[in-house]
Amino acid sequence: KAGVTQTPRYLIKTRGQQVTLSCSPISGHRSVSWYQQTPGQGLQFLFEYFSETQRNKGNFPGRFSGRQFSNSRSEMNVSTLELGDSALYLCASSLASGLYEQYFGPGTRLTVT
């Protein structure tokens, strides 16, 4: 069974631009979560989607948004990029929402200049 895939793997953007990251979950998984990882803040939860609905959201500004499609694939969008948005963005999928182990993708390394 294929694992979680994320595209692109690396991205360089300039301040003020917007970016869209994509995540394809493991087949059969309906929950997708997004995380931001930085050296200073560690791993922080962004949001979770289940059956195309946002189930939970972390403490991030409204510039960070996401969505999930009917095939469970998910996208994350960051508008008006700031230097502090430079991070590794990890996507994780699980069978359902709740107490299920999550399987992570390789991440998208975003650099904002």
Partner 1 sequence: AQKITQTQPGMFVQEKEAVTLDCTYDTSDPSYGLFWYKQPSSGEMIFLIYQGSYDQQNATEGRYSLNFQKARKSANLVISASQLGDSAMYFCVSSPGTYKYIFGTGTRLKVLA
How many residues in the shown chain lie near partner 1 by CB under 8 A?
Answer: 25
Minimum distance of partner 1 from residue 101's CB (angstroms) = 5
Minimum distance of partner 1 from residue 88's CB (angstroms) = 6
d(CA 82, CA 80) in angstroms, rounded, equals: 7
For partner 1, give the closer residue by CB, 66 or 105.
Answer: 105
Q: Which stretch binds partner 1 (CB under 8 A): 10-18, 21-29, 77-85, 105-113?
A: 105-113
Q: How far is CA 85 from CA 7, 14, 18, 40, 99, in A?
A: 17, 11, 11, 12, 29
* Chain position carrying tokens 């959201």: 57
Q: How far is CA 11 from CA 33, 53, 92, 93, 110, in A?
A: 20, 27, 19, 22, 5
Q: Of the candidates 19, 21, 76, 90, which one interacts with partner 1 according to CB under 8 A?
A: 90
Which 23-42 residues touch partner 1, going by CB under 8 A? 33, 35, 42
Please report whether residue 65 would count as binding partner 1 according to CB under 8 A. Answer: no
- Residue 99: both structure tokens together: 């107490």
Please report whether residue 56 would count as binding partner 1 according to CB under 8 A. Answer: yes
* Chain position carrying tokens 């946002």: 54
Please report whether residue 105 would count as binding partner 1 according to CB under 8 A. Answer: yes
